[in-house]
Structure 1
Amino acid sequence: MLGMLGLLLGLLLLIVLTMRGVHIIVAAILCSTVVALFGGLNLETALTQHYMEGFTGYFASWFLIFLFGAIFGKVMEDTRAAESIADWVMRTFGSTRAVLAVVAACAIMTYGGVSLFVVGFSVYPIAVALFRHANVPHRFIPGAMAFGSVAFTMTSPGSPEIQNLIPTQFFGTTPLAGGWIGFLVGFVILISGALYLKVAVRRAMAAGEGFNPPEARQGLVRLSAGSAVQETAAAAEEGAARRLPPAVSAFIPIVVVIVTLNVLAKVMSSTAAALVSLAIGIGLAWVLMWRHVRRFWGSLAVGAQDALVAAANTCAVVGFGKVAAQVPAFKSVVDALTSIPGPDLLGLALGVTLICGLTGSASGGLGIALPILAPLYLAKGVDPGAAHRVATLAAGGLDSLPHNGYVVTTIRAICGETHQRAYKPVFVLTVLVPLLGMFLAVVLYSLF
């Protein structure tokens, strides 16, 4: 009983601390301490062995993916390729389809392996200009960006995102695992989310709500003159006067990364294929847009720093999950999930998404859940490709609770919004809709 209480308190504390701005590494260690004490674990063993085993084990397995991915994203940012893609998408869709344009711009870049945060900072200034012109409520920008960035691109077959690569290690699959059902579910998520956005925005505007950026609401967010929102909006309006690389040149590295990854994954490990494809993408971006390369070594240095921060933050929650996994109550939860009546894939899906919710991280949750769950379900004879796709879709469900690092950064740091104003659309688009996709995948894989 105390162990279960400790797990719940640890999760609640992790959510509260991260939402209040406490660094995730500090928060994870504090919450691990709570879980260990309530679970009857030796505190020294819990922190110096279990926590650090989870932290260092995940780092050793996936740091190079973080490194190459961060450098690729930084190169796409420094060469202004990401901005060129965003600008092209926005001009193609126009201000009358402002919301759809934001979703499309984010989806194209994240499916091509560009970092979530690079995409966010590249798309936001142009989104501000479009939303203002169409008088669409500003509070929907975080939801549109998050939906395009994480709801279906990171969980669809062929994606180079780490959430689609981790399952390959445990199921012996490739990034294309899951076949046509995986693509179909991704399409259903896209259509469902787009319909929700259309209806929600229309209702808000019908109720008299306009663009209304954060500083317009007294008592919510007070931004001084020269604030990030004002500066990025002004920068977006000056976009026509700035030189950007041709959109074709900007798209080529992304296309090459996707194609190379999925071709090479047939002849080598998916991790190796991802590293090679990202390295080729980095080289191509430099060659095709060399006139826009201002700091060759600077891109590498900043990319490496970004990789260290992203990897360490994820490792911190994996360490927390590793401690939680040592508590007997955790095993009871796993046993209950694996014995749920119905398709075997249902237990796998629920187990993965609950652990991702516990950690507030899709990749971190997969790193904790799959070493435990994958052997159990493979032993039951579950199809590895179906298990891979269901696990990836499940990781994109409860991971986006309020304490998720990407959610906090997008709402507060990039968009200058608050959870009170902006989180509802984010929740629907990155939690509810993906969960519906997860359950649909379980049904389809069980039938076909």
Structure 2
Amino acid sequence: MFVQVVAIVLALGLLMFFAYRGYPVIVFAPIFTLLAVVISGLALMPSYTETYMTNAANYIKTYFPIFLLGAIFGKVMELSGAASSIAQSIVKALGSRRAMLSVVLACAVLTYGGVSLFVVAFAVYPFAVAVFREANIPKRLIPGTIALGAFTFTMDALPGTPQVQNIIPTAYFGTDAYAAPVVGTIGGLIVFAAGMVWLERRRRQAEALGEGYGTGHKNEPETAENQGYPNLWISIVPLVLVLLFNFLLSRGFISVADWYSADVLKQYNIANVKTVASSWALIIALTLGIVAAVCINLRQVQTKLATGLTAAAMGALLAIFNTASEVGFGNVVKTLPGFKAIQDWILNLSSHPLVSEAISVNILAGVTGSASGGLSIALEVMGKQYMAAGQAAGISVEWLHRIASMASGGMDTLPHNGAVITLLAITGLTHRQSYKDIFAITVVKTLTVLLLAAVLSFF
């Protein structure tokens, strides 16, 4: 059994190391999966074609529309100037005296409205530079500020967020995007408040040392002035439509769960409509948002629509295949002889399902460097056990959903995380200059979800 456990740990360690070094997960996840299979003494090719590929394909089938439509929505919001208009308006309204708060809120509004994290970073960065320079705040604090607004409470904590990290648990627990609204809102507020305290503390430290914005920076935007962006109130219409219809189609009077009879669903092998209803709701909501975003500034969008859609599609393909590769990895791992010992160890880290779930999702998100990847692996491998344990303990499945979702956005932002690397590249900064603050936000998020899980365990 020792050798079988080592096989899994070795495969996970190699996957993390190569992901950290920038090698494609699509290529190396199956390689290390099969390495673990060989060491464990199982059949090589059946494990690859029937377990790894089947589960990776199932994940793509389930979530590709969300990845694709989310990428297109973000790109169209960028091309129309709507994303920049929202960011600019919020930053200008709060001014340089509240520079950090304005950047966090600008990121939060866009992320909660359904714009992808990468587009948010691109859209907000020019205005963050302008307001940080005016307030004479060190540029090195910009990545941590953007991370707080885009990678934390609006990504997976606040109820209804259309980000994929909030949708994935619905397929395992039969919940919707608005699961555990009170828990999510409280957790989100704690992360926001604690994150702002950290960032303001860092700003005051720099001010006391006489450190200002600095000079000689890379990737400095030419200007953040108005470049013919659409009106703010028009710009927010696509975001409002996504949020409104996602709610109405999830829990409102036009809920997609009521569209088809049980007989119709049975023809498509859908035993429980709740496992797909949240995805259906978001697909329709994002489609409406895309149409609205195009109509905001049709002439400007038309000129770059072909290249923009190509870029969005390529980004969605890379994201979904990376995550699906990790899901395939997780599904093979759970068939290996050594997994039972590892599973028992993780489950026994805490006797309470919520705490155990928070720890396991955090660990796997950190190992893979991906919130959606770590979350998917954890729920694929142990989702049924957590649901059974939760039901036995009288724990709401909505709590299981919210804790899992929030935990995925904890340790995922370790140095090898793709979003972290992209954010630093956009801002022209390095890990050495700015990762300390991103890591602090990561710690805040991780401690918050563990605290929430511990508190809920008493109920």
TM-score, normalised by the number of residues in structure 1: 0.89
Query: Match for residue 379 of structure 1?
Result: 388
How big is each residue's C-alpha offset from its partner over 1:365-398, in whole Å with a ceiling of 9 and x where there is no partner?
2222213322222223131111111111111112
Cα separation, partners in 2 of 1:278 and 1:212, compared to 1, 3 Å: same
Letter of the structure 2 residue corresponding to residue 439 of structure 1: L
Q: Is 2:259 aligned against 1:250? A: no
C-alpha deviation, 1:40, in angstroms? 4.1
Q: Find 1:438's aligned residue among 423, 442, 449.
A: 449
Cα separation, partners in 2 of 1:39 and 1:124, compared to 1, 3 Å: farther
Query: Match for residue 192 of structure 2?
Result: 190
Query: Match for residue 421 of structure 1?
Result: 433
C-alpha distance in structure 2 between counterparts of 1:396 and 1:428, whole Å = 13
Query: Match for residue 169 of structure 1?
Result: 171
Q: Is 2:301 aligned against 1:293? A: yes
Query: Match for residue 86 of structure 2?
Result: 85
- Spell out the pairing of 1:325-336 with structure 2 (5 A cutoff): 325-336=334-345
Q: Is 2:247 aligned against 1:235? A: no
C-alpha distance in structure 2 between counterparts of 1:18 and 1:340, whole Å = 27
C-alpha distance in structure 2 between counterparts of 1:357 and 1:325, whole Å = 18
Query: Match for residue 248 of structure 2?
Result: 263
How big is each residue's C-alpha offset from its partner over 1:320-357, in whole Å with a ceiling of 9 and x where there is no partner?
33333333333322222323444321112212222222
Contact in 2 for aligned 1:77/1:83 (Cα 8 Å): yes
Q: Is 2:415 aligned against 1:402? A: yes
Cα separation, partners in 2 of 1:124 and 1:271, compared to 1, 3 Å: same
C-alpha distance in structure 2 between counterparts of 1:28 and 1:69, whole Å = 25
Cα separation, partners in 2 of 1:375 and 1:205, compared to 1, 3 Å: same
Query: Match for residue 29 of structure 2?
Result: 28
Letter of the structure 2 residue corresponding to residue 284 of structure 1: A
Contact in 2 for aligned 1:67/1:307 (Cα 8 Å): yes
Greater Cα shift, 284-293 or 378-387:
284-293
Gaps of 5+ in 2: 257-276
Letter of the structure 2 residue corresponding to residue 245 of structure 1: P
* Secondary structure of 1:193's aligned partner: helix
C-alpha distance in structure 2 between counterparts of 1:144 and 1:206, whole Å = 19
* Secondary structure of 2:168's aligned partner: helix
Greater Cα shift, 80-89 or 350-359:
350-359
* Secondary structure of 2:161's aligned partner: coil
Greater Cα shift, 102-111 or 378-387:
378-387
Q: Is 2:144 aligned against 1:143? A: yes
Letter of the structure 1 residue corresponding to residue 236 of structure 2: F
C-alpha distance in structure 2 between counterparts of 1:435 and 1:101, whole Å = 24
C-alpha distance in structure 2 between counterparts of 1:153 and 1:106, whole Å = 9
C-alpha distance in structure 2 between counterparts of 1:318 and 1:109, whole Å = 28
Contact in 2 for aligned 1:157/1:183 (Cα 8 Å): yes
Q: Find 2:401's aligned residue among 388, 402, 415.
A: 388
Letter of the structure 2 residue corresponding to residue 175 of structure 1: A
Cα separation, partners in 2 of 1:132 and 1:11, compared to 1, 3 Å: farther
Cα separation, partners in 2 of 1:5 and 1:328, compared to 1, 3 Å: same
C-alpha deviation, 1:33, in angstroms? 4.5
Letter of the structure 1 residue corresponding to residue 454 of structure 2: V
Letter of the structure 1 residue corresponding to residue 405 of structure 2: T
C-alpha deviation, 1:30, in angstroms? 4.2
How big is each residue's C-alpha offset from its partner over 1:153-209, in whole Å with a ceiling of 9 and x where there is no partner?
111211011111111111111111112121111111110111011112221332343
* Secondary structure of 2:148's aligned partner: helix
Letter of the structure 2 residue corresponding to residue 166 of structure 1: I
C-alpha distance in structure 2 between counterparts of 1:385 and 1:426, whole Å = 29
C-alpha deviation, 1:42, in angstroms? 4.3
* Secondary structure of 1:326's aligned partner: coil
C-alpha distance in structure 1 between counterparts of 2:13 and 2:428, whole Å = 25
| Cα RMSD (Å) | 2.1
C-alpha distance in structure 2 between counterparts of 1:424 and 1:48, whole Å = 42
C-alpha distance in structure 1 between counterparts of 2:458 and 2:243, whole Å = 29
Q: Is 2:108 aligned against 1:123? A: no
C-alpha deviation, 1:439, in angstroms? 1.7
* Secondary structure of 1:157's aligned partner: coil
Letter of the structure 2 residue corresponding to residue 194 of structure 1: M
Contact in 2 for aligned 1:77/1:122 (Cα 8 Å): yes
Q: Find 2:373's aligned residue among 345, 357, 364.
A: 364
Letter of the structure 2 residue corresponding to residue 349 of structure 1: A
**Percent identity over the alignment?**
40
Query: Match for residue 289 of structure 2?
Result: 281
C-alpha distance in structure 2 between counterparts of 1:247 and 1:24, whole Å = 39
C-alpha deviation, 1:75, in angstroms? 0.8
* Secondary structure of 2:114's aligned partner: coil
C-alpha distance in structure 1 between counterparts of 2:387 and 2:17, whole Å = 36
C-alpha distance in structure 1 between counterparts of 2:42 and 2:366, whole Å = 23
C-alpha distance in structure 2 between counterparts of 1:322 and 1:126, whole Å = 43
How big is each residue's C-alpha offset from its partner over 1:199-239, in whole Å with a ceiling of 9 and x where there is no partner?
122213323433236x56xxxxxx5xxxxx13x2x132xx2
Q: Is 2:144 aligned against 1:132? A: no
Contact in 1 for aligned 2:5/2:342 (Cα 8 Å): no
Contact in 1 for aligned 2:80/2:296 (Cα 8 Å): no
Q: Is 2:355 aligned against 1:346? A: yes
C-alpha distance in structure 1 between counterparts of 2:10 and 2:196, whole Å = 36
Letter of the structure 1 residue corresponding to residue 440 of structure 2: V
Number of aligned residues: 429
Contact in 1 for aligned 2:327/2:380 (Cα 8 Å): no
C-alpha deviation, 1:445, in angstroms? 2.8
